[in-house]
């Protein structure tokens, strides 16, 4: 459970730096840029080559994609109904469908289910969350963001393809897939590990730096919707889909818990970096992490109560 103390500590550091005159207002954006261009590609290069595409259980591998297919139309419908801005819609489409299935997910799964649950969490994270972040979230960021000083208009298909091709995590994903079955030299592996380990501290400090407890009025409604969808609705969907397969299966239990994780901090960083409602994106991540210490134990207790 030490990881949760670390998370809280990183957020507090960010909050303290926010109140210090020694750090400029764009410090959070600079930290996010480091994550997108350095730390996140390092994590992709670290994890993806170790994937084994064998006869693995499909529950954790397919559930993230199913939840993506369900949440996107819901978010687009809410955007039209509630008249969200283009920036808010883009941020919600990136942050809400993606869960923090690794840094929060792994230790939570181990805390609830022991080491036996980790392989299923890895499957959920590596075949779901990271691929969705690298591909889907990149496309959404390209469509909804725009270059500073230009009109916010939908880019052409060629422009979207170019942004995807130049997006560092996507480039790292292509390289990592090509490197499957090939071991990195020891020095390179250690170098990648040393960069990857900086991902969570830097992101959470950035989240803390940009976290505003007094949100603008226009961000409060989307925040409530995002937290409700992420912490309540998506695990309800996962539970409804998997209930018939038998809750006694560890793979089913872990998949439901992974679906209940708060918003992915890397997705929040991507939305912020793209200029998509930075305050809202940081709030969804920050408040989600805080609230999951309440919601995840409740979901675990609910699953255990229903077990035969």
Distance CA 95, CA 281 (A): 7
Distance CA 122, CA 54 (A): 14
More confident residue, 305 or 115: 305
Q: Which residues contact 31 (CB under 8 A, 6 or more apart)?
A: 202, 203, 205, 206, 209
Say if residue 115's pLDDT is above 60.
yes
Give the whole-number percent of the chain exceeding pLDDT 70: 90
Say if residue 122's pLDDT is above 50.
yes
Question: Tell me: the pLDDT tens digits for 189-219?
Answer: 999 999 988 888 888 788 788 777 677 888 8
Among the ranges given (120-124, 126-130, 156-160), the one the predictor scored with the smallest mean pLDDT: 156-160
Question: Tell me: the pLDDT tens digits for 57-93?
Answer: 688 989 999 999 999 999 999 999 999 999 999 999 9
pLDDT for the residue numbered 232? 96
**CA angle centred on 34, ends 118 and 67, rounded to 5°:** 40
Q: Quick one: which of 176, 135, 83 has its CA closest to 267? A: 135
Say if residue 117's pLDDT is above 50.
yes
263, β-bridge pairs: 99
pLDDT for the residue numbered 44? 79
Long-range contacts of 162-165 (CB under 8 A, 24+ apart): 163/138, 164/135, 164/138, 164/139
pLDDT for the residue numbered 156? 65
Contact between 162 and 126 under an 8 Å Cβ cutoff? The reply is no
Q: Which residues contact 35 (CB under 8 A, 6 or more apart)?
A: 199, 202, 203, 206, 266, 269, 273
Say if residue 132's pLDDT is above 50.
yes
Among the ranges given (119-123, 254-258, 274-278, 295-299), the one the predictor scored with the smallest mean pLDDT: 119-123
More confident residue, 57 or 107: 107
Give backbone dihedrals phi and psi of 212, rounded to 5 degrees, phi first: -115, 120
Question: Tell me: the pLDDT tens digits for 214-237?
Answer: 778 888 899 999 999 999 999 999
Q: Helix and strand tally (H, E) in the chain?
A: 18, 0
pLDDT for the residue numbered 55? 47
Q: How confident is residue 295, by pLDDT bands cut at 50, 70 and 90?
A: very high
Question: Tell me: the pLDDT tens digits for 268-277?
Answer: 888 988 889 9
pLDDT for the residue numbered 191? 95
Among the ranges given (86-90, 248-252, 300-304), the one the predictor scored with the smallest mean pLDDT: 248-252
Taken as a whole, the chain contains a residue count of 308
* Helix axis angle, 2-18 to 199-210, nearest 10°: 40
């Amino acid at each position: 459970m030490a990881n949760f103390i670390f998370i809280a500590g990183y957020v507090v550091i960010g909050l303290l730096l926010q109140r210090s005159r020694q750090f400029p207002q764009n410090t959070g954006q600079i930290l996010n840029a480091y994550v997108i261009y350095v730390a996140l590609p390092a994590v992709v290069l670290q994890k993806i080559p170790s994937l084994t595409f064998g006869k693995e259980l499909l529950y954790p591998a397919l559930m993230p994609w199913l939840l993506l297919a369900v949440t996107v139309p819901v978010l687009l419908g809410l955007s039209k109904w509630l008249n969200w801005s283009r920036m808010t819609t883009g941020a919600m489409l990136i942050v809400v469908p993606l869960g923090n299935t690794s840094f929060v997910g792994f230790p939570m799964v181990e805390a609830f289910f022991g080491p036996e649950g980790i392989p299923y969490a890895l499957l959920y994270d590596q075949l779901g969350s990271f691929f969705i972040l690298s591909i889907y979230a990149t496309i959404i960021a390209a469509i909804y963001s725009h270059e500073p000083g230009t009109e916010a208009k939908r880019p052409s298909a060629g422009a979207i393809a170019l942004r995807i091709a130049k997006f560092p995590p996507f480039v790292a994903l292509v390289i990592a897939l090509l490197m499957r079955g090939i071991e990195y030299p020891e020095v390179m592996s250690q170098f990648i590990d040393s960069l990857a380990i900086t991902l969570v501290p830097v992101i959470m400090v950035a989240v803390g730096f940009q976290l505003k407890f007094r949100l603008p009025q226009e961000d409060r409604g989307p925040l409530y919707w995002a937290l409700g969808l992420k912490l309540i609705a998506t695990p309800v969907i996962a539970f409804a889909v998997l209930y018939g397969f038998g809750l006694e299966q560890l793979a089913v239990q872990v998949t439901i818990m992974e679906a209940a994780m708060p918003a992915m901090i890397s997705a929040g960083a991507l939305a912020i970096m793209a200029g998509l409602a930075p305050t809202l994106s940081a709030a969804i991540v920050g408040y989600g992490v805080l609230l999951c210490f309440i919601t995840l134990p409740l979901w675990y207790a609910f699953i255990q109560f229903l077990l035969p």
